[in-house]
């Protein structure tokens, strides 16, 4: 009986977390990244093992890094919360970048994507990817997300948030 009790004490919390914890952590966005840290150090370029560096308003992403493998297919997306951007693969050679701040009330972590719109689960508002952008936390309930210039060179994605 003691072995069974020890087994349940050590296994059940892990199983419960795996069953409930992961779904709670990722409940609002199935494409959340693993939140790699974006290093900054007053304008000097750093290399980060997670594949993300930030130098001022410029974000550089190594698309070969494991945490970006989900962006390989057209239509795939991710919320790179640590850099404040939503990334959307629109073609084999183009990934667009958008501000991940919801124009309605500033939520950054509750995004989903479908039917060519990003949907914020906080209040159910949908935002497009066109040129009619509305700014973060402006109480807007429709419009397009602010987009940033982005380019791919080889396996490096560069985003300019200026």
Domain count, the chain: 2
Q: 56: alpha, beta or left, given left = phi > 0 and alpha = psi -120 to 50? A: left
- Confidence tier at 9 by pLDDT (50, 70, 90): low
Domain that holds residue 125: 31-160
Greater confidence, 143 or 11? Answer: 143
> Which of 95, 91, 83, 98 lies closest to 35, judged by CA?
83
Residues 37/48, Cβ–Cβ less than 8 Å: yes
* Same domain flag for 6 and 52: no
Position 108 pLDDT exceeds 60: yes
* Same domain flag for 87 and 20: no
Residue 29: strand pairing partners = none
Two structure tokens written together for 127:
């935002």
Position 15 pLDDT exceeds 70: no
* Same domain flag for 51 and 21: no
Q: Which of 8-22, 36-50, 75-89, 133-147 has the lowest mean pLDDT?
A: 36-50
* Same domain flag for 41 and 5: no
* Same domain flag for 77 and 94: yes
* Same domain flag for 20 and 94: no
The set of residues, in sequence order, having a beta carbon less than 8 Å from that of 104 and lying 6+ positions away, is 120, 122, 123, 125, 137, 138, 139, 140, 141
* Same domain flag for 18 and 52: no
* Same domain flag for 17 and 75: no
Gap between the Cα atoms of 55 and 44, Å rounded: 6
- Confidence tier at 142 by pLDDT (50, 70, 90): very high
């Amino acid at each position: 009986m003691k072995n069974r009790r020890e087994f349940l004490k050590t296994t059940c919390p892990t199983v419960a977390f795996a069953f409930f914890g992961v779904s709670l952590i990722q409940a609002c966005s199935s494409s959340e990244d693993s939140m790699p840290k974006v290093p900054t150090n007053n304008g000097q370029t750093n290399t980060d093992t997670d594949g993300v560096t930030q130098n001022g308003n410029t974000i550089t992403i190594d698309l070969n890094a494991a945490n970006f493998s989900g962006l390989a297919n057209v239509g795939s997306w991710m919320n790179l919360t640590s850099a404040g951007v939503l990334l959307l693969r629109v073609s084999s050679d183009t990934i667009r970048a958008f501000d991940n701040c919801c124009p309605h009330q500033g939520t950054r972590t509750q995004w989903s994507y479908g039917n060519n719109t990003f949907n914020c689960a906080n209040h159910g508002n949908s935002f497009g990817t066109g040129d009619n952008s509305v700014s973060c936390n402006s109480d807007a309930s429709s419009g397009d997300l602010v987009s940033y210039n982005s380019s791919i060179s080889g396996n490096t994605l560069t985003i300019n948030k200026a």
